[in-house]
């Protein structure tokens, strides 16, 4: 992309900030150009955020139906999946899947709850609670 083609669409997802984009200048060299956003990127970001909100609402509903533990909600709320949570906690993925079941989650040790609370940036008390259905 050439420097004059760098999009400047004032994306609301940038919150007034700018993003560095590398483009080819008139001498044929790469240079950094500030971009205020791109309409297509903004649309994709809005779609991704809407999907994440939907997943969080489903986790809340599944928790209140007794299908999953509160951990499912906190994972969605903090934008973790099983793989990334396993990497951050040191638990195996199969362990996290087990911890997503209400019965197993209720029996977790204080040490494991502490690890989850630190990684998810919530207190242990908050880790066991989920908002009411909207």
Q: What is the pLDDT of residue 89?
A: 97
Q: What is the pLDDT of residue 35?
A: 85
> What residue segments make up the domains of the chain, in order of their start?
3-37, 47-127
Q: Does residue 40 have a pLDDT over 70?
A: yes
Which sign does the torsion angle of CA 41, 45, 47, 48 carry? positive
Q: pLDDT-based confidence at 134, cuts 50/70/90?
A: low
The token pair at 14 is: 């940038």
Dihedral in degrees, nearest 10, Cα atoms 89, 98, 70, 84: 30
Q: What is the pLDDT of residue 81?
A: 96
Distance of alpha carbon 134 from alpha carbon 122, whole angstroms = 21
* Contact status, residue 23 vs residue 1, Cβ threshold 8 Å: yes
pLDDT tens-digit series, residues 93-114:
999 999 999 999 999 999 999 9
Stated as kind and residue range, the H or E segment containing 115 is: helix 110-120
The token pair at 106 is: 């209720």
State whether residue 32 is helix, strand or coil. strand
The token pair at 11 is: 């994306």
Distance of alpha carbon 109 from alpha carbon 52, whole angstroms = 29
pTM to 2 decimal places: 0.77
What lies within 8 Å, CB to CB, of 1 at 6+ separation is: 21, 23, 24
CATH class of 47-127: mainly alpha
Q: Does residue 86 have a pLDDT over 70?
A: yes
The mean per-residue pLDDT over the stretch 113-132 comes to 95
Percent over 90 (pLDDT), the chain: 64
């Amino acid at each position: 992309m050439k420097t004059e083609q760098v999009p400047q669409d004032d994306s609301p997802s940038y919150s007034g900030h700018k993003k560095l984009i590398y483009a080819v200048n008139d001498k044929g060299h790469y240079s950094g150009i500030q971009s205020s956003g791109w309409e297509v990127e903004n649309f994709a970001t809005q779609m991704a955020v809407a999907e994440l909100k939907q997943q969080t609402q489903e986790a809340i509903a599944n928790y209140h139906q007794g299908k999953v533990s509160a951990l499912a909600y906190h994972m969605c709320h903090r934008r973790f999946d099983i793989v990334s949570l396993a990497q951050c906690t040191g638990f195996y993925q199969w362990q996290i899947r087990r911890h997503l079941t209400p019965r197993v989650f209720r029996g977790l040790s204080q040490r494991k709850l502490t690890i989850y609370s630190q990684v998810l940036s919530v207190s242990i008390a908050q880790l066991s609670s989920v908002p009411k259905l909207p």
